[in-house]
Amino acid sequence: MYCLNPSPIMTDRLETIRTLYDARAPTYDTEVGFHPHQGADYLKWMPLSPGKNALDLACETGAITIPSSKEVAPSGTVFGVDISPASPSIARDKATNHSLENATFVDHDIGALHDVEKIEEGMFDVITCASAFVLLADPGSAVKSWAKLLKEVFCRELKKMAGP
């Protein structure tokens, strides 16, 4: 949702999400269950190769972002965005430990990417959002805004698959 001046309700909702995921960030990588399997599936399904650019929304501590940055190296880039400042901080440390210079992590609301520096329309080959749709105030608007970030070639392919 595009909100230049968010309402108190919107701010409270975002702050609640931020606080929840900041608390979860230190143990996120040791969790078992659904999320690790989902992340592994995303990595199998994504058409990544050197030179591609990927955007991982609600990236948490980089479970999808870090392996993706290895796949697109050396000439591709990966951006991970998460509302929790703690999560991208952990992901940045991981990227540094793996000498991944092509990974960028930003703490920001994934529903309002229009003001994130270095993220531009038509920039990405792949966009992932593993489990955060339920946290968005307006998922439909968010997906429409994310679609503008995809390269035109990919958008044409999506339109073909969707049919008339």
Predicted pLDDT of residue 26: 84
Q: CA-CA-CA-CA torsion for 72, 113, 12, 140, nearest 10 degrees? A: -90
Question: Considering the domain boundaries, does residue 51 fall inside one?
Answer: yes
Helix, strand, coil proportions of the chain in percent (round to 5)?
Answer: 50, 15, 35
Question: Considering the domain boundaries, does residue 34 fall inside one?
Answer: no
Count of beta carbons in the 10 Å neighbourhood of residue 87: 26
User: What is the extent of the structural domain holding 150?
Assistant: 8-28+42-162
Rounded Cα–Cα distance for residues 24 and 37 (Å): 18
Question: Considering the domain boundaries, does residue 97 fall inside one?
Answer: yes
For the chain, list residues with pLDDT below 70. Answer: 1-11, 33-36, 153-164
* Distance set, CA 30 to CA 25, 36, 40, 79 (Å): 10, 9, 14, 23
Rounded Cα–Cα distance for residues 163 and 97 (Å): 44
Number of domains composing the chain: 1
Question: Considering the domain boundaries, does residue 96 fall inside one?
Answer: yes
Predicted pLDDT of residue 29: 79
Predicted pLDDT of residue 2: 35
Question: Considering the domain boundaries, does residue 2 fall inside one?
Answer: no
**3-class SS of residue 57:** strand
Rounded Cα–Cα distance for residues 55 and 132 (Å): 14
CATH number of 56's domain: 3.40.50.150
Predicted pLDDT of residue 1: 32
pTM recorded for the entire structure:
0.82
pLDDT tens for 102-134 read 999 999 999 989 889 899 999 999 999 887 888
